[in-house]
Structure 1
Amino acid sequence: MKLPSLKEIEVFVKAHELEGLKILHLSDIHINKKTSLKNIQDLVTLCNLCEVDFVVITGDIIDCKVKYILDKLKVLNSIEKKVFYISGNHDLFYGFEELKPLLENFILLDNETYFLKYKNAKIALAGLGDRFSKFFKIKREENKVINFLSAYENSIFLAHQPKDYKFALKANAKLFLCGHTHGGQIYPFHYVVRLFQPFLAGLFYIKQTAIYVNKGLGYWGIDFRYKANSEITLLKLTSKSVE
């Protein structure tokens, strides 16, 4: 996992109260035995130096059993900014219950809700665990999340897979953040991913909702990317039209 340069994107939201809000969006870190401790330390340094209001991690933090990467997770847990995260399919497969206590400084949003104050506005945040939760006998409380977000003007929804954008639309969320796709990771597998996901990577707008699909930091399968660079993204929200 090699750290890319910070990518900055302006995101239009129909909410003037969110003007200027800055979110550092990470996804699919896929920490495993081969991940260097220095890379995680560099990632934490970047997060701590970044001038943002909070950090989100949209799933797949790990890619092996946590017992093999305890030192790296300890370093990751030292991010000084407020961090919100949700589970990804790899987290569930390799042991999400073991992972959660190691990220005690982070705020888990699987089936959870949270209020965040920004200037004079109150932001409603909520998230769902990965769609693979059902295979681990973990219930996803979609209605709870939709009802909560629907009740507030300024709302942000987190999930791992782009497929869950439908819940964001039902809740009239201003912003939906996700990952999972790796942007296809290796061209031409982009076309395969698009058979299963509505969006591959980048920024989209549907109705009142801005959608951002992060290509992620790590790798799946082999340590290689082609025409799908890894990313760390700073999202700056604006209520002014973005060309």
Structure 2
Amino acid sequence: MRRLAIPLIIITTIITLLNWFIYSMATLSYSTPPMWLGVTIAVGAVFMPGSLMLSMTSLRERLRYVILAGYIWMGVFFIAFFFAFIQMMISLLPLEIHSSWMLWATLVISIWSLRINILGPQIVNHKLKGPDFLRGLRVLQISDLHVGMPNLRQTWLQTVVDRIKTAAPDLVMITGDLVDAPFDETSPLLDPLSQITAPKFYVTGNHEYIRGGDWEARLHNLGFHVLHNSHEVIERNSEKLLIAGVPDQRVNGFRTNLESNPDKALKTSENVGYKILLAHEPSSVFDLTVEKCDLLLSGHTHGGQIFPFGIFVRMQQPVVSGFKKINGINVFAHQGTGFWGPPMRWFTRCEIVVFEFI
């Protein structure tokens, strides 16, 4: 914890200044700002980084709901900051609009964005053109489940698995960030994944390495093909489909003996009719220098999760959500089956994606 002290102080200072900006914009039209608002924002300025710090301690399980409340406040803060920026723009115009609108807007959108906790991940269907031998094949992708977050536990994962079974896929892919808590605490929560009977494939994301633990062995025990710069070949209608996978691009920063090498993963002497690459980040498409694939399935971006963060994600990744053709490769970015931090989404969704070849 000591090595995190300076970054935490910096983050807390920045959060305090941003909270002050929100307070200033929200009270712009008040001659006497309401005391309750100042107290609420002041408490939130401490509560948000405090809950993040608690989530990294041994108290995280006992204080799970306190941490969850902190994450919710984080989401409210993001939404309030967006409306505060809009209020700042309004204040520069010759308009008479009372600044209290942003408090109501923040409240309404925050409540709306929490609806995902009731709806759960939605099944989203896409049709894909491919070679004749793949016609009718149903490939299901889940990504960024973040199991171990305060309200993404075994019951929630069982709901995801039940919806996967309802979708009746031929193949199931997990493209990283499956977990978000210490190994010993989270590993037992993954048991429902053993109920998936279709051939299933897994690659790691950055959060598996942040949290530590032998997730590869755990997923192997659950019946998954763990793809680390490797591939599996599946025969279908007398032709071959290659499914390759790489660990997260930043894996070398956590395990010096491991790298993310999609060229190595895709290389084969077999005559295959279609190649799918699983990679946690869409930007892995730029790591391909020799080999090519037909489809790259990725996650990581969460679609931005809470508007307008997709704008900032776009600065780091070539695609935030959906399909984009890059260097002749069809790249798909999954919006995430779960979420990180705030259990909230605005202009994005939690999804279970099914691709059907036509």
TM over 0.5: yes
Unpaired runs of 5+ residues, structure 1, are: 239-243
Partner of 2:265: 145
One-letter code aligned to 2:195: S
Deviates more, 1:199-208 or 1:36-45: 199-208
Give per-residue Cα distances to partners, 1:158-198, cap 9 Å, x unaligned.
10000012346852311110000000011111110000000
Q: TM-score, normalised by structure 2?
A: 0.62
Cα separation, 2, equivalents of 1:149 and 1:230:
38
Partner of 2:173: 56
Matches within 5 A, 1:80-119: 80-97=197-214, 99-103=215-219, 104=221, 105-119=223-237
User: Which fold has the larger relative contact order, with Cα–Cα distance below 8 Å and residues 6 or more apart in sequence?
Assistant: 1
Instruction: Decide which of 246, 267, 283 is 1:128's aligned counterpart.
Output: 246
**C-alpha spacing 1:76/1:192, structure 2 compared with 1 (3 Å):** same
Instruction: Decide which of 184, 188, 194 is 1:71's aligned counterpart.
Output: 188
Aligned residues: CA RMSD: 2.1
Give per-residue Cα distances to partners, 1:198-234, cap 9 Å, x unaligned.
0000022346432211001111222211111111110
Q: Moved runs in structure 1, 4+ residues, more than 4 A?
A: 167-170
SS of residue in 1 equivalent to 2:330: strand
Is contact 1:175–1:210 with CA below 8 Å preserved after alignment? Answer: yes
Q: Is 2:332 the counterpart of 1:217?
A: no
Whichever structure has more strand as a proportion of its residues is 1
Unpaired runs of 5+ residues, structure 2, are: 1-115
Cα separation, 2, equivalents of 1:122 and 1:4:
32
SS of residue in 2 equivalent to 1:101: helix
Partner of 1:241: none
SS of residue in 2 equivalent to 1:234: strand
One-letter code aligned to 1:32: G
One-letter code aligned to 2:167: C
Give per-residue Cα distances to partners, 1:4-55, cap 9 Å, x unaligned.
2211111223x23222221011000000152232211111122223222110
Cα separation, 2, equivalents of 1:39 and 1:12:
33
Cα separation, 1, equivalents of 2:164 and 2:288:
26
Give the Å deviation of 1:96: 4.4
Structure label with greater radius of gyration: 2
Partner of 1:16: 132
Aligned-pair identity in percent equals: 28
Cα separation, 2, equivalents of 1:21 and 1:169:
29
Give the Å deviation of 1:68: 1.4
One-letter code aligned to 2:204: S
Whichever structure has more helix as a proportion of its residues is 2
Q: TM-score, normalised by structure 1?
A: 0.89
Deviates more, 1:203-212 or 1:107-116: 203-212
Is contact 1:47–1:81 with CA below 8 Å preserved after alignment? Answer: no
